[in-house]
Amino acid sequence: MFEIEVDCVQVCTCKISDEDEQRIKDYIKNNPEEFEFVSEKNAIIQAISDLEIDLYNDYVESDSYTNDIRWSEFEERSTEEILNKNITSI
């Protein structure tokens, strides 16, 4: 057994409350210059970010995937030891 590091992305589906939805609509309506050249989808996403809406009040973990696999700095054995190779034979 040995250790590796995995960069895992957890995707969450978050519900936006009715109150926060109204805040988002008002923000976009009251700041048209911010969203002049932005699609409606991106305007909503930007408003959520700008308003610092809490996304984790009501959410479901909907997906996850591995972004990267790399050697762990916590692994104490060398690769040669793991593969049962004699260090001098490499």
**Which residue stretches of the chain have pLDDT < 70?**
86-90
Question: What is the pTM assigned to this prediction?
Answer: 0.71
Query: Taking the domains of the chain in order of start, what are their residue ranges?
Result: 4-84
H-helix or E-strand spanning residue 80: helix 79-82
- For 64-77, the pLDDT digits (tens) are 999 999 999 999 99
The whole-angstrom separation of Cα 86 and Cα 73 is 22
pLDDT at position 90 is 52
What backbone torsions phi and psi does residue 74 show, to the nearest 5 degrees? -90, -10
Q: Got the DSSP string for 14-54?
A: EPPPHHHHHHHHHHHHH-GGGGTTS-HHHHHHHHHHHTT--
pLDDT at position 85 is 74
Structure tokens at 74: 């916590």
